Amino acid sequence: MDKHFFLNEFPDWKDKILELKNSNAHFKRLYEAYNDTNHQVEKIENGTEPADDQFLNFLRMKRVQLKDELWNEVKNSASTS
């Protein structure tokens, strides 16, 4: 199981996240960028893709920023629903 999969991070918000993913193009782009970045981090951490520590840390920070943006979108959507 992917420990940083966005839906696993916020299981109580699964329906709202899926709704946004299917109805909001901006959210979908962020969601896909998060998943792509997360997958790349996992490949490096598992040793299947080589990278130096600086690049790995860059990707981790990018993942955090994307997660924050996604969560803000979820919260903003929930407050206007």
Each residue's pLDDT tens digit, 38-72: 999 999 999 999 999 999 999 999 999 999 999 99
3-class DSSP state of 72? helix
- 56 falls within a domain: yes
Which distant-in-sequence residues (6+ apart) come within 8 Å of 24 by Cβ? 73, 77
- Based on the structure, what is the number of domains in the chain? 1
- 8 falls within a domain: no
CA atoms of 74 and 60, how far apart (whole Å): 21
- 5 falls within a domain: no
pLDDT computed for residue 1 by the predictor: 45
- 6 falls within a domain: no
| Range(s) of the domain holding residue 64 | 16-80
| Mean predicted confidence (pLDDT) in 1-27 | 89
Establish how many alpha carbons lie within 13 A of residue 37's alpha carbon, considering only the half-sphere containing its beta carbon. 21
- 70 falls within a domain: yes
- 9 falls within a domain: no
pLDDT computed for residue 7 by the predictor: 87
